[in-house]
Amino acid sequence: MDASEYGDLESLSLDALAPRERILKIASELFYRNSVHTVGIDRIIAESGVAKMTFYKHFPSKANLVATYLRHKSALWFDMLATATEQAGPVPLDRVLAVFDALNESFRAPTFRGCPFVRGLAEFGPDAETPEVQATLAAYFQDLHDFVVSLIHPLKLKNQGSVVVQILALIQGSLVNAQAMRGGVETLATRDAAKMLIEAAVERG
């Protein structure tokens, strides 16, 4: 999934966007800054400057808008990770650690409000009647798992599955810690933990 699928929402002003992108830009800002359940459709319509009919033409329900918002966030996230790991060069360990460097940078941004997917799990639990949202959340976590597998695989570890689970736990733990503690220092410790974990696994591999 490519972030360009959703238009240049991050850099363009609201006036420069088509109605669908205006709606998505406002919804993304409000959902992420506040929460999905506290932001109503009427507020999104008012702040995006579109007619209600236009809104429902592009997004037949709030659940559909939420799922689109999450797919947009997922595309941005994986674009960031792909850029970071590519810039790290060909050494597999460096590519894994680049994930934590990228996280540390994002945690320092004043707009950081935690992981939208972890927050989404809390807002859309197993009893929620929003299958599109839940499927989008499930797809994100599967994509993150597959991405980590792609980074770990070149290391040729015998216990690859276990290392993947542990790296995922470090990533998710750093996301939650950064939201709770509002800083990037703890992420550097998590990066060190990932490095020690992999180096130990290489020695056993």
Query: How far is residue 18's CA from residue 38's CA, in Å, rounded to a whole number?
Result: 25
Residue recorded with tokens 């997922």: 74
Cβ(69)–Cβ(124) below 8 Å: no
Tokens of 46: 């008012």
Q: What is the pLDDT of residue 128?
A: 85
Q: Identify the H or E element spanning 54.
A: helix 52-58
Residues 94-106: what's their mean pLDDT?
Answer: 94
Cβ(143)–Cβ(79) below 8 Å: no
Domains of the chain: 3-204 (1.10.357.10)
Task: Look at residue 68 and tell me whether its pLDDT is greater than 70.
Answer: yes
Tokens of 24: 């998505």
Residues 117-146: what's their mean pLDDT?
Answer: 94
CB count in 10 Å sphere of residue 140: 22
Tokens of 95: 């590519």
Task: Look at residue 187 and tell me whether its pLDDT is greater than 90.
Answer: no
Query: How far is residue 41's CA from residue 56's CA, in Å, rounded to a whole number?
Result: 10
Residue recorded with tokens 């800083």: 183
Residues 100-104: what's their mean pLDDT?
Answer: 93
Tokens of 165: 């689970």
Q: What is the pLDDT of residue 152?
A: 97
Furthest C-alpha separation in the chain: 62
Q: What is the pLDDT of residue 65?
A: 98
Q: Is 116 exposed, middle or buried (0-12, 13-18, 19+ CB in 10 A)?
A: buried
Task: Look at residue 192 and tell me whether its pLDDT is greater than 90.
Answer: yes
Q: What is the pLDDT of residue 2?
A: 55
Query: How far is residue 93's CA from residue 113's CA, in Å, rounded to a whole number?
Result: 28
Tell me what percent of the residues of the chain surpass a pLDDT of 90. 73
